[in-house]
Amino acid sequence: MSSQEKLEWVISIQEKLNEAQQFITRKSWEKCCIYRMPRRIRDAQESKKIYEPQTISIGPYHIGSELVQDMDLYKWVALYQILRRTGQNLSLYFDTVSQVEDQARACYQQVNHLSSNKFVEMMVLDGCFILELLRYYPARGTTGGNPVFANKRIVEGIVLDMVMLENQVPLFIIDRLLKLMNGNQHQNDQALDLVLNFFNPKWLTGIRMSVNELNELNRSLKQEECLHVLDVFRRSLLHVRPQQGTINKHRFRWIPMCLKRWLHCLCENKASDSISGREQVLHSVTELRKGGVKFRKRNTSCFLDFRFKNGVLEIPPICIHDNTKTILLNITAFEHCHMKISDGVIASYVVFMERLLKSPEDVGHLHRHGIILGDGAQAVDMFKSVCKEMLVNVHDGYYADLSKEVNAYYSQRRNRWRASLLQKYFHNPWSAISLVAAIFLLCLTALQSFYAVFSYHRPNSS
């Protein structure tokens, strides 16, 4: 290596070290919240439609894509209608977003390809379009002057694209634009109200939230720092965490991940009655039924409120439709990417359900009990597909303790014997009647034999 080559090599290394220093100094990872779909998860999927927008581009990752260019005109229509309705000047909106451009850019994993003007223009257009959709489409009778809102099929495609990992804008941008439109600069979290009316657990559970539940959810989320539409929807699914006794909360949930894992390993090594990894893996519905476990629908709008008591596993309903896979995949991918999420609760839920549903018979049983709603035929393949390349520790996840409880009940022989007896002889009324009749005849036969023997050995009265 010549001295010149060595010098160039040293300079390139120093440049990389400087980049690393800037990365640490700026703490970019703390601000980033809108990511690219990880390649490992992306490559495991059969179709790009699950993670790439098919109707509209929101944010910088798919801007200019030929697939969604047709919607650009309707973004300008939305902005025009807002300016016409409010009488405000266009520069007011661009100046408002320009003030927080650096903060907005920091939210994205990759955004260097856009100039300042192009980035601000994109934020204004996308934010205003989202606000027009959230404000007018739920009314069903109005379109806000935007003809695209009159087409239900297109709107459904837009809504699905709005929960994709790569298709987000920061919620604070939407909130600033909404305050500007309303002329109220002092009221915060106005955008959160609109997003929650559109994106709440009913989309997955099929259960409509009451007004009180929705208000309580709204108050709860206003205490948190919601990042974007996908984050709001994810948090809404977690709005009522199960209380102690519903699911044994993980012992180390709020301890930093590295310390949590160390303590967990320490406790496992010391425990004399620790359960092996093989035993911790949850059995399927069919197998658990053989062990006496019963399944029941849990009427709750909380997506994750499971309960196991006295051999009965209560599961909240989930509505399986064409978009369920897309929704779950993008939420779990966000949990995988975002460093501030230490417990991938939705990912743990997907793995838990994938363990339960191994065959059409498993799905059919939960469908008959109202737990699986909609198109249950695709449930097995859907959960299996979402689980591909998902890094979830089944021994240390959100449902680890619940799985241990269920498996412990399943492993008790008396429960399996009782279940076998009930399924074999009491699965329908005729089987039960036949068993009772057989027992009755057996008793009569025994009684007859007793009297025959008794009369033979009894001395004559004479």
% pLDDT > 70, the chain: 80
- Containing 372, the helix (H) or strand (E) segment is strand 372-374
Q: Is 318 helix (H, G, I), strand (E, B) or coil?
A: strand
101-110, 179-188, 190-199, 397-406: the lowest-pLDDT one: 179-188
107-150 tens-digit pLDDT: 998 888 899 999 999 999 999 999 999 988 766 556 667 888 88
pLDDT for the residue numbered 429: 63
401: buried, middle or exposed (CB in 10 Å: 19+, 13-18, 0-12)? middle
* Residue 323 banded pLDDT, cuts 50, 70, 90: very high
* pLDDT at residue 204 is higher than 80: yes
pLDDT for the residue numbered 21: 78
The DSSP line for 295-317 is EEE---S-TT--EEETTEEEE--
Tokens of 411: 């492993």
Q: What is the mean pLDDT of the chain?
A: 82
Cβ-Cβ contacts under 8 Å for 21 (sequence gap 6 or more): none
Tokens of 73: 């005109």
Number of other residues whose CB lies within 10 A of the CB of residue 372? 24
338-379 tens-digit pLDDT: 988 877 899 999 999 999 999 999 999 999 999 999 888 889
Tokens of 182: 């309303």
pLDDT for the residue numbered 44: 86
Instruction: Compute the distance between CA of residue 322 and CA of residue 91 in angstroms, rounded to an integer.
Output: 41
pLDDT for the residue numbered 431: 58
5-50 tens-digit pLDDT: 888 888 889 888 887 877 676 666 678 999 999 999 888 888 899 9
* pLDDT at residue 284 is higher than 90: yes
pLDDT for the residue numbered 94: 96
* pLDDT at residue 165 is higher than 90: yes
Distances (CA, A) of 262 to 259, 333, 343, 398, 457: 5, 25, 16, 17, 77
Average pLDDT estimate for 409-438: 62
* Residue 186 banded pLDDT, cuts 50, 70, 90: low
Q: Is 60 helix (H, G, I), strand (E, B) or coil?
A: coil
Instruction: Compute the distance between CA of residue 244 and CA of residue 221 in angstroms, rounded to an integer.
Output: 22
Question: Which letter does DSSP use for residue 70 in this model?
Answer: G
Tokens of 113: 């390809």
Q: Choose between 161 and 414: higher pLDDT.
A: 161
Average pLDDT estimate for 234-253: 58
Instruction: Compute the distance between CA of residue 257 and CA of residue 301 in angstroms, rounded to an integer.
Output: 29
Q: Give the bridge partners for 295, in sequence order.
A: 313
pLDDT for the residue numbered 140: 56
Tokens of 89: 């000047």
Closest Cα partner for 167 from 341, 76, 46, 37? 37
* pLDDT at residue 316 is higher than 60: yes
Distances (CA, A) of 365 to 200, 346, 410: 27, 23, 18
Q: Is 328 helix (H, G, I), strand (E, B) or coil?
A: helix
321: buried, middle or exposed (CB in 10 Å: 19+, 13-18, 0-12)? middle
Is residue 345 a contact partner of residue 247, using CB atoms and an 8 Å limit?
no
Instruction: Compute the distance between CA of residue 212 and CA of residue 202 in angstroms, rounded to an integer.
Output: 15
pLDDT for the residue numbered 452: 76
Instruction: Compute the distance between CA of residue 184 and CA of residue 176 in angstroms, rounded to an integer.
Output: 10
**CA quadruple 61, 66, 71, 76: dihedral positive or negative?**
positive
